[in-house]
Every structure is written in structure tokens, then in C-alpha cells.
Structure 1
Amino acid sequence: MQIPENKYDVVIIGGGPIGIACALEAEKKGLSYIVLEKGCLVNSLFHYPTNMTFFSTSEKLELDNIPFISNNPKPGKREALEYYRRIATTNDINIHLFEKVTNIKSAADNVHNIITSKNEYQAENVIVATGFYDIPNYLGVKGEELPKVSHYYNDPHYYATQKTIVVGASNSAVDAALEIYRKGGDVTMIVRKPEIGDRVKYWVRPDIINRIEEGSIKAYFNSSLREIKENEVILDTPNGEEIIENDFTLLLTGYRPNFGFLQDLGIKLSEDGKKIPLYNENTMETNVPGIFLAGVICGGVETHKWFIENSRIHAKIIINHLDKKQDILTST
């Protein structure tokens, strides 16, 4: 294999908040680095719903003690985009956007060759901070591929006056149902459990429960979607089959990390159904020498366990470990 000219101490895959945090720490320790992001800056945040409000307060979303000033204690999407964009530009983060990592080949000497859609790089250390928002949890029902079906939700205006099915009962599904209802949409929720999820934001959960109880938003609990058709959907409910008129169907049933990418790197996943990657909590290094994990990807399918606020520390853990390792190599 041709050795790439672009050599770094560390390559960071993912230009979200945690990838940026890793870059900031690398700069402070004098480590050469590059951040590779397949989309725009903080790509996952950019694709969040337009009116999304974070569960966390602004100070818990801060990186490197850089103040995050927001209009309200819990910031919205646009404020977060502005905050992380200013960090990246002000600190002149070495980040390549719209450059997807397609393969990583590890040599016998533990040097990793990172191949992207545009270039090739070499590094002894790779940090995977790719999050989980890229791959929806598909239901596998007939009609899921129809144009009226989406696994992502953006703006409620699009669904005004339309008969809209929202499948799911997590934060994303509840937010979508409430916003579409308030913009004049005819909303029906399909929930496989007997009630709205207990992890829904505490200030939103009473709102959705009240709207369902008063009949403003219809809801089928202990129910599932059997088939999606052009103008209707077929449900399986405790009372048997139900057929509902439908214009749009939002399948907001969660997302998952790219497990195939991790396995291609040789990273082991737990076999208990949670698919938690194997890594050392003291260093964040996986079973593959020189490959580290940071952020939500550490949780496998349990994407609710890691957030920006509790995984920011991963950046310091990894870079401090790399800094110590470099000091040892320099002194020998």
C-alpha cells in the first residue's frame, strides 16, 4: 500500500461536539490532528428538528469551559449550531467537512491508514466519535419505502392540515406530535407500549398526556403498524385490526450507531443484544490498539446513556492518555 503523505498523531472521525472537544484537547497537548466529517459541521445537530430544545442546560453543553450563552436555560438547535460553529472557526480547528471515511487499514506496526472519499491519511491513533443519528431503526413493515414515509422530522409546517401518523413515544416522537398538532395537523400516535415513554422531557410529558386525554391528539397504545399504504395505514391494536386514513407517516423509532463500521475495524461488540463496543474505561481504547471511542457511540444500542454533557470527559481521557504515551516514547 502506498503510504499517505498526510501523517498525524491522531485522526478524529466525526465533527460533532465530542469530535471538536477531542480536537481542542489535542491542540492543548501539542498533538497533530485532523477531524474528518462526512457532512457539515456538527452534522447530526444540523439534522435535528428545527424547533428542538435540548434536555440539557447550556452550561452542560459547553466545551473546554467556553461559555455557551443562550436566551433560555435550555438552548435550541440554532443556538447550539452557532455555539459549536464559533468554537470551530475561532480556534481554527483542523477539520475537513464533507469527507467520508470509507476504510481504515491497520498495519502490523499499529499504524492506521485512513482512507476517505477524498484522500488518505496515516496515524498511530484514531478516535471514532461518530454518534448514532445516521441509521434509523427500520420497522421492516410493508410500505416503509413509500415517499410519504420518513424516519426524520424537521419542520411542523410541512404537515399542516395533513393526517399524520407518528410512530413512537420517545422525545422525538412526542415533540413532533405536539408541534404538528399546534400547526394544524391531524395527528395520531402509534405506541407499542401502554403509555408515553418515561424518558420524555419532564416539562413535555404532561403536555402530550393532556393532549391525548382531551382528544386533541389521538393515540393507539399497545399497538403496532402492520402496513403503510398510499392513503391509509393498517394497525394491529388490542381491539384488532384498525385502518386509518393517512397522508404522511413519521417513523420516529430511534437511531443506532454504524455497528458495521465498528466491526470492520475489528472492534468487538457485546453479544447480549446491547452491542456495546469493547473499550477500556480508563483510556477509551478499544480492543484494537490505537483505536479509541468517544461520545454516544460507546453505548451501543443504548443511545440514551451518553450525551454531550456526560461524554465531554472522553476527550480529556483519550488525549491525556496519548500525551502520556508520547512522553514515554520520547524518553525511551
Structure 2
Amino acid sequence: MQQFDVVIIGGGPIGIACGLEAKKQGLSYIIIEKGPIVNSLFNYPVNMQFFSSSEKLEIDEIPFISKEAKPKRNEALEYYRRIVTSNQLNIHLFEKVIDTKKDGDIFKVLTDKDEYTAKNVVVATGFYDLPNRINVPGEDLPKVSHYYNDPHFYASQKLVVVGASNSAIDAALECWRKGAEVTLVIRGPEVGPRVKYWVRPDIINRIEEGSIKAYYNSTVKEIRPHEIVLDTPEGEITMANDFVLALTGYMPNFSFLEKLGIALSKDPKRLPNYDPETMETNIKGLFLAGVICGGMETHKWFIENSRIHAPIIMNTLKQRLGLKE
């Protein structure tokens, strides 16, 4: 069994930043990622463009050069992959953490491939794994997806997109431009206010001209193999439908956090308990980094404002372990 100063769970940008900082501080470490490098970014839509500019996505002051001011998914994948490989980070890919328990002062981390012990653990697992379900009959039909990838798939199809934030609006516009007949179902009275500022006018214009149909203050009531039923201010509407993209957001794996013993707030925000000065949770030696710190408030933390978690955590560990420069 291998023992480390710190095991980092999650190989996204912040997990990679933690690995870089651990290496810099002379800590023995391992990053464990259940998928490929930056698994969450890999599962983003193929044409996705970040809201942030490239310098705000940089970690460890390593320059991120992109063709446009706001980089796209493929550029981010290249950037983070090169960081991992050129720095020879100790990262285990396609290895899923099954359980983590503390025995005295040592953590035991069990994966589907191996077992590790560590003096400390950092959880940097993000929030893209579990979609917010709409909980209606037919949601588990094969025609329904909570993730969007490539607009070509929906060409010439009757597509309903549920949601009003960036992922839903991007999907609606891209699929419409590839020839899909797109209908937006929006729970509130308008397109989400946090939609990218250069995209929001585009979707509003498409709706106003009738290219994309939008139902505001509406919800999905039922999904059938060839139809969808909507609950709208005008009453119940049934329409022909081929595919549904339920892009209503995602959430952290709260059951995993609770299994680790991390306390969560009782309100709907489900904020995890941690000290912002050290990022340590209510479990000594167990730290949080990245978006997962925000609980259900997934819009509060991004790469650009959570990359500071890596030096905060690793400096804390260096001091505790008494390592010298």
C-alpha cells in the first residue's frame, strides 16, 4: 500500500493546480481522476467557448495562449493536458475513488483499482457529475439527455431544450443553426441573466423573429416516445418531439461528501463546512478545493477564483509537516 502526504481526488483544473503546488512544496502526492485528464471539461460540448478569458483560466502562472480572447474547449484540453504531461504530474486516470476513511491520523483511500494511505486528502471533484433532474414521467427515455455534445446529432429533428442558462442557450442556438426545429422551455419569465453577454442578444433575437419557439413560465409535465407535454400559462400543450435536452444544471456529489463525514448546511444551498483560511473541513486533514466549496451555489466558484485554493492548502500542509524550503 502506497502512502502519501496528500491524496488529491479529482483531476480537473483545480486538482491539477493542487498537484503542481504539492510538487513545488516538496509534498508526496497523487491525483486520482475517474476519467481522462480534466474529465469535466472533456464532457463539455465540442464547440463550447468559456466565459472567462484565457489568462483567468491559467494555473501556476503558466501562460494559456488562445486564438481568441475567450478560449474554446479544445484549447483548454490542450492547455491542461500539456501541463500534466510536461510537469510529469503523478496522476492516475480512469480510477474511481470508492471510499475514504480516517483511521487515527491516517486516511485510507480505496479505489476501483488500488488502495492508498495519506496524511491528508483534498477533494476537488467539481459539480458536473450529477444533473438536476426535472422529475417527470418519461425523463429516463432514450430520447432524453442531461448532457449536450454535438449539434449535428439533432439536425432535422424536433428538439426541446429545457433550461435558461448558458448550456441550454448555447445548445438551442447551435442546434437551430444545424437545422433542428428548436423549442425552449424556460421556467422563469426570461432568458437567464447570467447568459454570456455576447450570446444573450442572439437568443433573444432568434426568439423574437420566431426562429426558435420559447415558452416562458413553463415546465415539462410529461415526456412520451414521440411527444412532449408542457404546462404553460396558456394551459397544457402537447407537441410532436424527437429529442429532449434537459439542461437544468448540475450538482456536487453530496452523498460522497457526507460519506467522508463532511458537514453540510441544512438549507437548500447545502454548503460544506470548511475554514476559508486553510480550506480544511470539519474533518482534520480533509480539505476542499474548487467549485465543490459552493454546494448548490455552483455559480459562485470558477477556475479563476478558486485556483488560489491550491497554494492555501499546500502551504498549510507544508507548515504542518515541518517541511523546509
* TM-score range normalised by the length of the shorter chain: over 0.9
Q: Secondary structure at the match of 1:55?
A: coil
Deviation at 1:307, TM superposition (A): 0.4
In structure 2, distance between residues paired with 1:209 and 1:49: 21
In structure 1, distance between residues paired with 2:59 and 2:96: 24
Q: Secondary structure at the match of 1:30?
A: coil
Q: Secondary structure at the match of 1:70?
A: coil
Which of 68, 78, 89 is residue 85 of structure 2 equivalent to? 89
1:8 maps onto 2:4 in alignment: yes
Which of 11, 29, 33 is residue 29 of structure 2 equivalent to? 33
In structure 1, distance between residues paired with 2:234 and 2:176: 25
Instruction: Give the partner amino acid of 2:85.
Output: T
Match of 1:121 in 2: 116
In structure 2, distance between residues paired with 1:162 and 1:295: 38
TM-score when normalising by structure 2: 0.99
Structure 2 unaligned residues grouped into runs of 5+: none
TM-score when normalising by structure 1: 0.97
Query: Structure 1 vs Structure 2: percent identity of aligned residues?
Result: 67
Deviations 1:13-71 (A, max 9, x none): 00000000000000111000000001111000000000000000000000111110000
In structure 2, distance between residues paired with 1:316 and 1:161: 49
In structure 1, distance between residues paired with 2:262 and 2:284: 10
Match of 2:204 in 1: 209
In structure 2, distance between residues paired with 1:151 and 1:59: 30
Match of 1:218 in 2: 213
Instruction: Give the partner amino acid of 2:162.
Output: V
Deviations 1:198-233 (A, max 9, x none): 000011011101100110000000000000001110
Q: Secondary structure at the match of 2:229?
A: strand
Match of 1:312 in 2: 307
In structure 2, distance between residues paired with 1:120 and 1:270: 31
1:45 maps onto 2:45 in alignment: no
In structure 2, distance between residues paired with 1:50 and 1:29: 36
In structure 2, distance between residues paired with 1:208 and 1:320: 45
1:23 maps onto 2:19 in alignment: yes
Q: How does 1:58-207 map to 2 (within 5 A)?
A: 58-107=54-103, 109-207=104-202
Number of positions where the alignment pairs a residue of Structure 1 with one of Structure 2 = 324
Match of 2:293 in 1: 298
Q: How does 1:233-272 map to 2 (within 5 A)?
A: 233-272=228-267
Structure 1 unaligned residues grouped into runs of 5+: none
Deviation at 1:272, TM superposition (A): 1.4
Deviation at 1:89, TM superposition (A): 0.1
Deviations 1:167-223 (A, max 9, x none): 000000000000000011100000000000000001101110110011000000000
Instruction: Give the partner amino acid of 1:137.
Output: N
